[in-house]
Structure 1
Amino acid sequence: TTSDNKDLSNSHSNHLIMDISSIPPGVVTGKNLLKLFEIARESGYAIPAVNCVSSSSCNAVMEAAAKANSPVILQISQGGGQFYCGKGVTLVDKLKASAAGAVAMAYHVRAVAKFYGIPVVTHSDHCAKKLLPWFNAMLEADEEYFAKTGEPLFSSHMLDLSEESDEENIEICTKYFKRMAKVDLMLEMEIGITGGEEDGVNNEDVDPEKLYTTPQQVFSVYEALSPISPMFSIAAAFGNVHGVYKPGNVKLSPEKLGNHQAHAHKVLGGSNPKPIFLVMHGGSGSTDAEISEAVSNGVVKMNIDTDTQWAYWDGLRKFEASKRAYLQAQIGNPDGADKPNKKAYDPRVWLRAAEGSMCDRVGVSLQKLSTEGVLGAGYAGCYKDEEPVSQVLGAAAAAPTAPAPTAPTPPDNTLKFGLCVVIGSVLGVALCKSTK
């Protein structure tokens, strides 16, 4: 009911928003993730969500965020997950490989994120209805991880059922969200269609009217999901298109996002004029002014893929051009016919050139979205060198909300072990001699 929704809106807007320094570094989930988005919305910035396909691209994104002293989102698509698993994996069910790769990415980020000293969100990208087995497998991994640690493996997942009817879209999202809420996962859903082509879903010939979500559509999602949990965001279409286009060729209407917020606020009341977390897809080719207006209207997450793909390649392209004479043979270059070229063709060298270029491009997005420096100079969660590695990575079996129990000091069995080894060796030698 409307009165129930007003109560929900007030409780959500009154959710305790603390300084961002209270959010620890590493993978962010649950209440800390909700807090991160609330702070972004209230402070007027959005967090870039960069698609990754390898540990190399993951590291480049985290490096960029660490340099900019900002949080960041790493996301992986179904196709990206398949690539992460390895194109040599020839399963009949390719979605199993996609799920395995996505889970591998999540574990990789959990292992290293805290070393970058920033909050990191792990997210799975567009999941159409035909890809739900991929989604199910990731959700099962979340539930297994939650049972061991008290938090999900990923931070959030996206369901993109925008090709279905609004009724079916919301019905399926509601069903999954009830399950996700039990393990503190955030849901991103899409209503209205983002044009272009993304990971095998082609919307290039879609009815132009469907590229603009209405306030009523957005609020129908809010009404369905908010009684379950406040941890959801909505990718509402406002003319945005996946892919790369020249500025001006994409007709964005970011003011429509403000209309969604105004409609929700009018119905809900309360003190929060922007009660909905919004997400922007298809930002390539958008002007800085359009992006800024979208963020001012409550966009807390903006997807980035096409531009960072080019940046990764461009770094490699420039490296090859500058080192071409050293990349034609293992031995022999302008410095001498007998000079080795290993320092040029070592994958760690040319991959690093690609990472550096991608890192720089992510930095540009952090600036445009006003995320650069938001952690502040006094961010207290940074990794300290004196901390043991086991403490930084965390124990997989210990719930993060409770300190690990102190194990009793085991008896010193070093001498006993040593005697066993000696006796075993003597017996072994004797046995060998007796069999000769």
Structure 2
Amino acid sequence: MTIATPERYAHMLEAARSGGYAYPAINVTSTQTLNAALQGFAEAESDGIIQVSVGGASYLSGQAVADRVTGSLALAAFAREVAKRYSHITIALHTDHCAVQYLDEWVRPLLAYEAEQVAHGEEPAFQSHMWDGSTVPLDQNLTIAEELLDKSQAARTVLEIEIGAVGGEEDGHRASENAKLYSTPEDAVEVARRLGLGERGRYIAAFTFGNVHGAYKPGFVKLRPDILGDIQRETASAVSQGKVEGLDASTRYPDDKPFMLVFHGGSGSSPEDIATAVGNGVVKMNIDTDTQYAFTRAVAGHMFANYDKVLKIDGEVGEKKQYDPRSWGKQGEISMAQRVVEACQELGSAGHALR
């Protein structure tokens, strides 16, 4: 198995929930970083998720084109070819952090394209798409989520939603310090009321618990992953008491965790916070900052170590094999792959590739 089918992706998510682990979701911006992520997952014997952000999708199409749909589909096509050589792991493809201003030029066209693929008996290009409604009021967020969930059903994809705001900056999208960085059980119950809990289509939810994008010194980010446990328990209780209209009060959820959760802004998190989040139902954790640094740090090391070979100094000619992009690119891939392995080990997915 290589790129997941819709059924295989559903199996992956259920396996993570029942097995008490989560998948690293690695943001990529190039074929090199894609290959590094695949290498890391393979070395860890872990299934995983590879994703592209709004800026990454544009970058992948080339700066002269700068089209997010083109970049996304190019990545998906390339990934399908190279992933065939990693037959012992399963990889899902995901688009990450689509804010309201990008819906009409990115995720809605992709969903329409994938619905056409499905209508013709093909697999969808991606397995899931994220709607980032963190900058709009909850009612508007869920109204758009309802529409996208219907479109996801037609495309046989999974929808990811964000409830609350993740601090810091991601691809030019910044949440202020006054944003709602902590979701509430009341928010979660409203999500269940509007979207159901799988009956109207599969989705995964990123409730916020103090998450911040970017890299920070220890102690700066105040995570409260216990909030996720409160959200799960109180939503399950509301359903069992018949307080969520449209949901069967007799329904029981695995370990009283009705939501499959996503952890955003996890770079630099402590092992304890990660373990608590996973224990409360996180099945996917986004990793971007740490893998970006791992790749670039190795490239920088090569450049510093071979300064007089990668530059033509004082009329000299340098050394071609040192400034050949393949030489420093390989170092970046190796370093990033090692960070992916570390993420798989931290999240517990290492050694759990579905057979």
Quick check: TM above 0.5? yes
Distance 1:361 1:193 in 2: 26
User: Retained in 2: the 8 A contact 1:330–1:341?
Assistant: no
Counterpart among 313, 337, 341 of residue 359 in structure 1: 337
How far has the Cα of 1:315 moved from its partner?
A: 0.9
For residues 26 and 41 of structure 1, what CA distance do their matches in structure 2 show?
A: 21
Which residue is 2:227 aligned to? 256
Match of 2:120 in 1: 148
Shift of 1:115: 1.2
Measured in 2, the distance between the counterparts of 1:321 and 1:367 equals 31
**Distance (whole Å) between structure 1 residues aligned to residue 111 and residue 327 of structure 2:** 37
User: Structure 1 regions of 5+ residues with no counterpart?
Assistant: 1-24, 381-436
In the aligned structure 1, how far is the partner of 2:319 from the partner of 2:268? 40
Q: Distance in 1 between the 2:209 and 2:152 partners?
A: 27
Q: 1:313 aligns with which of 273, 296, 312?
A: 296
Secondary structure of 1:241's partner? Answer: coil
Q: Which amino acid aligns with 2:134?
A: S
Matching residue of 1:108: 78
The answer on 1:369 being equivalent to 2:352 is no
Give the equivalent residue in structure 2 for 1:303: 286
Query: Structure 1 residues 313, 182: closer, same or farther in 2, change over 3 A?
Result: same
Note the C-alpha offset of 1:371: 1.1
Which of these residues, 315, 324, 333, is aligned with residue 346 of structure 1? 324
TM-superposition CA deviations, 1:143-165 (whole Å, max 9, x none): 23223343211000000112111
Give the aligned partner of residue 206 of structure 2: 235
Q: Deviation at 1:179? A: 1.5
Aligned to 1:138: 110
- 8 Å CA contact 1:181–1:228 kept in 2: the answer is no
Alignment partners' CA distance in 1, 2:191 and 2:223: 22
- 1:213 corresponds to which residue? 183
Displacement of 1:140 after TM fit?
Answer: 2.4
Amino acid at match of 1:257: L
Larger radius of gyration: 1
Q: Kindly indicate whether the alpha-carbon contact (under 8 Å) linking 1:51 and 1:75 is maintained by their aligned counterparts in 2.
A: yes
Distance 1:255 1:80, change over 3 A: same
Identical aligned pairs, as a percentage? 39
Inter-partner Cα distance in structure 2 for 1:203 and 1:121:
28
Q: Contact 1:163–1:193 at 8 Å: present in 2 too?
A: yes
Aligned residues: 340
CA separation in 2, counterparts of 1:275 and 1:151? 28
8 Å Cα contact 1:312/1:357 also seen in 2: yes
Within the candidate set 282, 289, 309, 2:265 is matched to 282
1:26-105 correspondence runs (5 A): 26-89=2-65, 97-105=67-75
SS in 2 for 1:116: coil
How far is 1:220 from its partner? 1.6
1:67-109: CA deviation from partner (whole Å, max 9, x where unpaired): 11001111101110111000122xxxx5xx1121011111111
Contact 2:149 2:201 in 1 (8 A): no
Provide Cα deviations, 1:221-240, integer angstroms capped at 9, x if missing partner. Answer: 12322365451011001011
Counterpart in the other structure of 2:248: none
Shift, 1:326, TM fit = 2.4
Where 2:159 maps in the other structure, the secondary structure is: strand
Partner of residue 407, structure 1: none
Q: Deviations over 1:347-382 (max 9, x none)?
A: 11111111111111111111111111112xxx65xx
User: Would the aligned equivalents of 2:23 and 2:48 in 1 still touch at CA under 8 Å?
Assistant: yes
* Residues 112 and 155, structure 2, Cα contact 8 Å, conserved in 1: no
Q: Secondary structure at the match of 2:9?
A: helix
